[in-house]
Amino acid sequence: MTTDPYDGFPPGFFDRDDPTPDTVFYGPPRLVTHIDDRAIAAVGALYTELGLTGRVLDLMSSWVSHFEQPPVELVVLGMNAAELDANPAATQRIVHDLNADPRIPLPDADVDAVVCCVSIDYLTRPVEVLTEAVRVLRPGGTVAITFSNRCFPTKAVHGWLGTSDAQHGALVVELLRRAGGFTEPEVQLRTPAGRGDPLWAVTARRA
């Protein structure tokens, strides 16, 4: 018997106000940043601290990946080909809709790290995507999920919109636990609120 990975979440938690295919919403290129410069710097500093220098997968990526020093290989997976083509750090580009198909089109144990920047709130099947992250990670590989308090509200899931900034870290931790295969996740507030965009990070390793 298969266990429901979302058992215990309220009905509609991972629904969205705009249920139209994401290919429509993300069709026009958006060559903009979605967090301020201080938060962007905090993402880059985190990646440097974690030593993400080998082969890295950037999930739900765009035209910039926020590394202080790009890794040797950067696989960018996102919705918009023009945005991915504009990413100067990318060495491999994959156009793929994880909400339509949560499978990551990479081999087992293919990457040293998986990052996801200010996008976890848009996943309608996050446990399946994070389970795939475990599969493509090499043993001991790092997952780093960063998020702020900005989003496209019609495309963020209801559960994200209905919980506080302080609760989002616990939610991401729970999703990683349900995916299985990770060490116990850690939550950090990388930049406090007040003078700009706050940035939180949840990190773990493939067990």
pLDDT score at 178: 97
Q: Does the predicted TM-score (pTM) go above 0.75? A: yes
pLDDT in tens, 57-91: 999 999 999 999 999 999 999 999 999 999 999 99
pLDDT in tens, 149-188: 888 899 999 999 999 988 999 999 999 999 999 999 999 9
Q: Exposed, middle or buried, 170 (CB in 10 Å: 0-12/13-18/19+)?
A: middle
125: pLDDT strictly greater than 90: yes
pLDDT score at 1: 45
pLDDT score at 2: 55
pLDDT score at 32: 62
Dist CA 14 CA 157 (whole Å):
5
Separation in Å, CA 131 to CA 41, 68, 206: 28, 28, 11
Higher pLDDT, 31 or 11: 11
Which domains can be identified in the chain, with CATH numbers? 22-205 (3.40.50.150)
DSSP run (H or E) holding 172? helix 165-179
20: pLDDT strictly greater than 80: yes
